[in-house]
Amino acid sequence: MGRKLKAALGTKGLLCIASLITIALALVYYSATVTITPKKIFTVGATSHSWTVYVNDENEIRYLPSNASTPAGSFPPNSPSISDPNTYAFYVSTEADKACAVNITMSTPADSSKFSKFEVTVKQWVPATSSWANTLLYNAPTGGSIKSFIDGTTNDYGYVQHPVSTNTYYLICVTYSYDLVDTTDLVTVTFQYTPLPQLP
Confidence label for 18 from pLDDT (cuts 50, 70 and 90): low
Over residues 132-154, the mean pLDDT reads 97
Give the best-scoring range by mean pLDDT among 6-15, 18-27, 35-44: 35-44
Confidence label for 67 from pLDDT (cuts 50, 70 and 90): very high
**pLDDT over threshold 50, residue 5:** no
Distance CA 131, CA 93 (A): 19
Helix locations, the chain, DSSP H:
2-26
pTM for the model stands at 0.85
Distance CA 26, CA 85 (A): 60
Interval 90-111: pLDDT, tens: 999 999 999 999 999 999 999 9
110 in Cβ contact with 181 (< 8 Å): no
The full set of domain ranges for the chain reads 1-31, 42-198
Question: Half-sphere exposure (CA, 13 Å, Cβ side) for 78?
Answer: 2
Residue-averaged pLDDT of the chain: 91
Distance CA 151, CA 149 (A): 6
Over residues 49-67, the mean pLDDT reads 97
